[in-house]
Amino acid sequence: MKSKYGGYMGKVIQLDLSTKQITEYPWTDKDRELFIGGKIMAAKILSDIFTGSENPLGEENVIVISTGPLTGTGAPSSSRFNISTLSPLTGILASSNCGGTFGYYLKKAGYDALILKGKCEKHTWIEINNNKFIFHSADDMWGTKISQCQQKLKEKLNPDGKKKYGHICIGPAGENLVKYAAVLSGERAAGRAGVGAVFGAKNIKAITASGNHVIPIYDKEKTLNWNKKWFKYLSKHPLTGNQLPRLGTAGLVSSMQMCGLLATKNYTYGRNADFEKVNGETLAEQYNVVNKGCMTCPIKCARTVTVEGKEVKGPELETLGLLAGGILNDNLQLVNQWNYELDELGMDTISAANTISYAMEAKEKGLWDAGLEFGKTDNISKVWEDIAYRRGVGDELAEGSRYLSRKYGGEDFAMNVKGLELAAYEPRMAAGQGLGYAVSNRGGCHLNGGYLVILEGLGLRTNPNTPKAKADFTMLFQDLMEMISASGQCLFTSYAFFPGFLLTQPDGPITKVCNAAIPHIGWALRAINKYPDVLVIHLPVFHHTKIFPYALNMPMNFGRYIRCGERGYTLERYVNARFGITEKDDTLPRKLTDVPQDKDDPKTVVPLERMKKTYYAARGWDKNGVPTEATLRRLKIK
């Protein structure tokens, strides 16, 4: 339905894959005001469809691929799009966010979102060009790895190199329903929670989008000027303008080591004695060929390394941490190689790494021998292939760590929450990050969890072990990131929220006051979280709000922004509650709550239960972790 707002194409399309029927999904400006785009929009659509009885790999599951209103407006780092569906790994709502160009080209084709229902009868790839939806046979693509599939798409769509299009595709892991299969767009991945397996279950190998629609911008001059100012700010900020462009996320390894946050030997330790062989500095000095970034991104956090004589995407922090110290491997080039192999097979590197490290600890404890051992690296490449093609022991590893621990034992060291494996941050030295993992809507995700490590050692240095104020900060950061994501932007733009001097003057008086004050301002945050509507302001360090009136002509301020994020977060929880999620699922493996990281310091565990109570109260969820009727009405979800 046509929109009065800029940034939106005004059309959401529903494809019934079983009948090949194409219909417009009703999506009004009121929906746009409340649910913005991206993951929040997807949660609303799926909330209206799911009953709680759907099977993730069944025909009844639905995929929503949604863009944000800022994609195509020139806002920094705004080329992201979102894939939401019911996850085969967790059984609850998955939202997986991706860079690359597909979101932009979907809008150029004229659409804000695609809803995929039913199941293609045969292996299919779908070509979208303006109002044409062509269902092609994918028989000649099925079985191909990601780069081969992308090459075939190029040969079909763009043999002379003139046509511009965006694409998404799956690899063998998605085809074979590996529970943590990814969807790739170029080198970027919608990696988490197994969205690729849902594509495979629906017989979709790839989707391409192209078109010549103009993405509307309400006030071009103001938008351009604001974006210029924003780009400049990000380029001068110490994190987004210096650290991330020069070291990428891999630059975190050393800092995490110092803070005891680097998951080592399946999260047994928070420090890795061999970290200097596998840190971001070594990657930058010895392996990185060139930095890369997504469309309209000034940050350019991606690395490029050489594997098998080819220049390929380098590993992110998660992959580097988990496939190095996580499994006691000290060979960085092996991580580069495995990262490439996992991308080619179309698999989430985080879940793959955690699943094999579970298997290694299970062997060490005599529970299950999958042929995997800490420090043994010669068979890992073969294991990735075995997982992707579900051969031998790979068939079981393809189910993820939760499944394996329920079958073979060892749930205390199967490092997942709600079935989704944890990121590389070891939370016993970051209590707030521990809470975030536990309550995160999609399972053990550091970003959806609020990323409190930035306060607890990596950016600022507030007390990492105290539970004080952590629940309130978790809620605020989750809501902010929810909204940044829904807008179509990269979460890395949020780091500029922290004024540069706080990061570059760690011993400065203001920084020291901030570090000391953070545990004591929970009450203030609670008030902001409860009554954000009073914040009818734009913060000078947070450029995200002013772009809405300029590019979209949609009223926005900091309070409204937080409220939209809160709506999205609680809406996702509301959907998950329909699939049985309650307080009992907001847990961590006992290794993190019961076993101190430092055996001489009992405080080095995650004090989860105390923080959870405060968190639920702040969110307006009941003691079982379910949003109350009053909260749902307050947020206009009901």
Binding segment for another protein (CB under 8 A), chosen from 66-74, 249-257, 592-600, 625-633, is 249-257
Tell which positions 307-326 bind another protein, by CB under 8 A. Answer: 317
Which CB, 58 or 499, lies closer to another protein?
A: 499
Closest Cα to residue 419, out of 473, 348, 488?
A: 348
If the CB atoms of residues 500 and 559 are measured against another protein, the closer one turns out to be 500
**Per CB under 8 A, which region of 102-110, 469-477, 489-497, 544-552 contacts another protein?**
489-497
Nearer Cβ to another protein, position 168 or 252? 252
Pick the piece of the chain touching another protein (CB under 8 A) from 55-63, 127-135, 240-248, 389-397. 240-248
| C-alpha pair distances (Å), 456 with each of 336, 449, 522 | 29, 14, 15
**What CA–CA distance (Å, rounded) separates 386 from 618?**
45
Contact 425, 478 (CB under 8 A): no
Q: Does 278 bind another protein (CB under 8 A)?
A: no
Q: From CA 225, how far away is CA 542, in angstroms rounded?
A: 16
> Binder to another protein among 131, 505, 520, 524 (CB under 8 A)?
505
- For CA atoms 387, 390, 395, 398, the dihedral sign is positive
Q: Is 79 in the site for another protein (CB under 8 A)?
A: no
CB 94 within 8 A of CB 195: yes
Minimum distance from CB of 614 to another protein (Å)? Answer: 25
The gap between the terminal CA atoms of the chain, to the nearest Å, is: 22
Which of 507, 523, 599, 600: binder of another protein (CB under 8 A)? Answer: 507
CA distance 288 to 301: 12
For residue 436, state whether it binds another protein (rule: CB under 8 A): no
Is residue 269 close enough to count as binding another protein by CB under 8 A?
no
Asked if 463 is part of the footprint of another protein (rule: CB under 8 A), the reply reads no
Min dist CB 492 to another protein, Å, is 7
If one counts every other C-beta atom within 10 angstroms of the C-beta of residue 132, the result is 11
Of residues 112-131, which lie at the interface with another protein (CB under 8 A)?
none
Tokens 């009941």 belong to residue = 622
Told to check if 284 binds another protein by CB under 8 A, we report yes
Q: Which of 147, 242, 304, 582 contacts another protein by CB under 8 A?
A: 242
Gap between the Cα atoms of 616 and 293, Å rounded: 37
Total residues found in the chain within this entry: 638
For helices 470-487 and 38-49, what crossing angle results, to 10°? Answer: 90
Residue 442 in the binding site for another protein (CB under 8 A)? no
Look up residue 579 and give its DSSP letter.
T
Cβ atoms of residues 98 and 192 within 8 Å? no
Q: How far is the CB of 150 from another protein (least distance, A)?
A: 25
Minimum Å gap between C-beta 505 and another protein is: 7
The answer to whether 447 contacts another protein (rule: CB under 8 A) is yes
Q: Which residue has the tokens 């590996």?
A: 178
* Segment lying near another protein (by CB under 8 A), choices 11-19, 104-112, 236-244, 380-388: 236-244
506 binds another protein (CB under 8 A): yes
Q: Which of residues 168-187 bind another protein (CB under 8 A)?
A: none
Figure out which of the listed residues 167, 205, 446, 591 binds another protein, where binding follows CB under 8 A: 446
Q: CB of 279: closest distance to another protein in angstroms?
A: 7
Alpha-carbon separation of residue 200 from 21, 136, 176, 205, 489 (angstroms):
20, 15, 7, 7, 27
Quick one: tokens of 266?
A: 């399946």
Distance CA 164, CA 156 (A): 13
Looking at the Cβ atoms of 115 and 458, the one nearer to another protein is: 458
Closest CA to 618 of 506, 471, 418: 471
Nearest CA-CA partner of 506 in 452, 450, 462:
462
- Pairwise CA distance, residues 48 & 321, whole Å: 39
Binding footprint of another protein, residue count (CB under 8 A): 36
Q: Which one, 321 or 532, has the nearer CB to another protein?
A: 321
Min CB(547)–another protein separation in Å: 21
Type of residue found at 433: Q
CA separation for the pair 590, 267 (Å, rounded): 11
Among 64, 234, 247, 608, binds another protein (CB under 8 A): 247
Contact with another protein (CB under 8 A) among 37, 100, 174, 238: 238
Quick one: which of 78, 69, 83 has its CA closest to 10?
69
Pick between residue 13 and residue 256 the one whose CB is nearest to another protein.
256
Name the one range near another protein by CB under 8 A: 35-43, 158-166, 243-251, 594-602: 243-251
Binding site for another protein (CB under 8 A): 238-239, 242-244, 246-249, 251-252, 254-255, 258, 279, 281, 284-285, 301, 317, 446-447, 451, 453-454, 458-459, 461, 491-492, 495, 503-507
